[in-house]
Structure 1
Amino acid sequence: MELFFQQVLNGLTLGGIYSLVALGLTLVYGILRVPNFAHGAFYMVGAFASFHLMVAWGLNYWVAMAGAALCVAVLATLAERLVFHPLRNASGLHPMIAAIGLLLFLEAGAQAIWGAEFHRMPTPYGGMVEVAGVTAPVQRLLIIGAAFALMLALHLFLTRTVMGSTIVAMAQNRDGASLVGIDANRVAMLTFAISGALAAVAAALFAPINLVFPAMGNLVITKAFVIIILGGMGSVPGAIVGGLIIGFAESFGAFYISTDYKDIIAFAILVLILSLRPQGIFSKGAH
């Protein structure tokens, strides 16, 4: 039972990170209706920014995380203005190619600045605590608590604030939202900023128990796409549920089957669920 609960803890850790990344991705998809492949690069930049602020500038972990979130939010907003906004009337293929180009550009930039080698971010909370008979690293508990707190905060923002309601309205019907006076440009910029900040925070939370390197966002963004397809394209609840499903599946699959198949399990689950429910778990889009 102790090993079982250890896998539950690992599943919640992975699920929380995946859900945060997928939430940012699904918010952008709800506005643009275009998969943002550059989102993985935003995740990578967030990890390097927090790493640099801690190691080079000696800042506190939480200050470094906030600084990374701000940097990536600005970067994502600039990407929306300079890359995606000029292509708003182009076919879906053009923004996708632009997103891939932005991904490669940011990866090359990170490699030029920090090098191609792997970096390890200092662990701010390296202690262990015992919870219900299970020994748990403090950093993993921090990831779980912070990730779900951010999900709750995002839910309250989208459902209880006027600005959040404009994002939901734009995701549901862009033309209708414009007709009632919602500024599409402002909403798009805000959505990209929130998306980038979520990716940066997820990276800063996960970096102390993972490695930081220029290509680190590639596998994460691939799984994030699996999650939003699994949960239903454009669905915020679907991104959260899909992230938890993939997180638990990877954790238990790696323990009870083999770590060699850990990354394949996500795609096997995608095929299984979509064969039963092709529209995804939540099929009505962003709520």
Structure 2
Amino acid sequence: MDILIYGFINSATLALMALGFTLVYGVSRLPNFAHGALYVLAGYICWLLLNRLGLPYILAIALALAFVAVVGGAMYQLILVRIRGMSISEIIASYAIGLAILEGLRWGGLKGGTFTLSAFLEGSVDLLGVSVDFQRILVVVLGALLVGLLYFFVNHTRLGLALKGMAQDERAALTLGIDSDRMAVASMALGSLSAAVAALILLPLGSIVVEAGYHVLIMAVAVCIVGGLGSWTGAILASFVIGFAQILTTVYLGAHFQVVVAILAIILTLILRPSGLFGKQKELEERV
């Protein structure tokens, strides 16, 4: 029962980490390797607003979310737009931006485990004989809510439908007057906002550290590759596959093997099914 409950929680955690990365790539085909850096940045900005300016928690969260969304949009508008369509350059540039953010935070004093955010809810509850704290339950609830809100946004709003059209067929969307660069800015802002939401939900479970940015990036890439780049359904399913595999590995081998599971999942997927579970990329044998 421990494996079942904590496997489900771990899967929801991975889905939250990967959702923003999947959104950006699905709409603009832009691999945002600054995703983990934006995650840490959101937590650090919220911490500064709480502890340096003394703002209320809710206001600090709102301002941190808005700030990271603006940073994500500005990244595309100022830098990534100049190399749009050059895949390797996009990866290098976005990773370099993320590296600059993370190491800049480290240089600015983000070290050790002294930077923490308070849990939204204190205490714990017994679920089928397993003690689970309220914050982890909130991770599952808010994760499901975020997925539902993004689904509604994409399928029932004007901007969301434009993003969906751009993701399905960019050339057809361009002929209908949809601006590709505007949609890319919107997707980057929304993807960054998703990373910030994930950070503010998950970071109360631990500390705000630079290393979390690299960890989140690895997990997001693993989920998206296994599920199929750009596929939301694949990302959710891959989160459960990797999430339960990590919990089983933790129980039988040790917690330090969790990252190994994610890396092995990437390698096996690229060998056996390069397009992922629900990806639309051509298989290797089709390209040879």
Does TM, scored on the shorter chain, surpass 0.5? yes
Question: Could you say which residue in structure 2 is the equivalent of 1:166?
Answer: 162
Question: Could you say which residue in structure 2 is the equivalent of 1:115?
Answer: 110
Distance 1:174 1:7 in 2: 43
Q: Where do 1:48-67 residues align within 5 Å?
A: 48-67=44-63
2:130 to 134, 151, 160: 134
Question: Could you say which residue in structure 1 is the equivalent of 2:94?
Answer: 99
> In angstroms, what is the RMSD of aligned CA positions?
2.0
Deviation at 1:156, TM superposition (A): 1.4
- Cα deviation per residue 1:96-148 (whole Å; 9 max; x = unaligned)? 22112201211132224343333232334221122333221011011111111
In the TM superposition, structure 1's runs of 4+ consecutive aligned residues that sit over 6 Å from their partners are none
Name the SS for the 1:135 alignment partner.
strand
Amino acid of the structure 1 residue aligned with 2:118: P
Residues 63 and 132 of structure 1: is their aligned pair in 2 closer, same or farther, counting only changes over 3 Å?
A: farther
Distance 1:180 1:165 in 2: 12
Amino acid of the structure 1 residue aligned with 2:219: K
Question: Could you say which residue in structure 2 is the equivalent of 1:81?
Answer: 77
Deviation at 1:34, TM superposition (A): 3.4
Q: Percent identity?
A: 31
Deviation at 1:60, TM superposition (A): 4.0
Q: Across the two proteins, how many residue pairs are aligned to each other?
A: 280
Distance 1:148 1:210 in 2: 21
Distance 1:96 1:22 in 2: 16
TM-score (norm 1): 0.90
Amino acid of the structure 1 residue aligned with 2:60: A
Deviation at 1:221, TM superposition (A): 0.5
* Residue 234 of structure 2 corresponds to residue 242 of structure 1: no
Conserved 8 A contact 2:153-2:160: yes
* Residue 179 of structure 2 corresponds to residue 183 of structure 1: yes
Question: Could you say which residue in structure 2 is the equivalent of 1:261?
Answer: 257
Distance 1:176 1:260 in 2: 47
TM-score (norm 2): 0.89
Name the SS for the 1:70 alignment partner.
helix
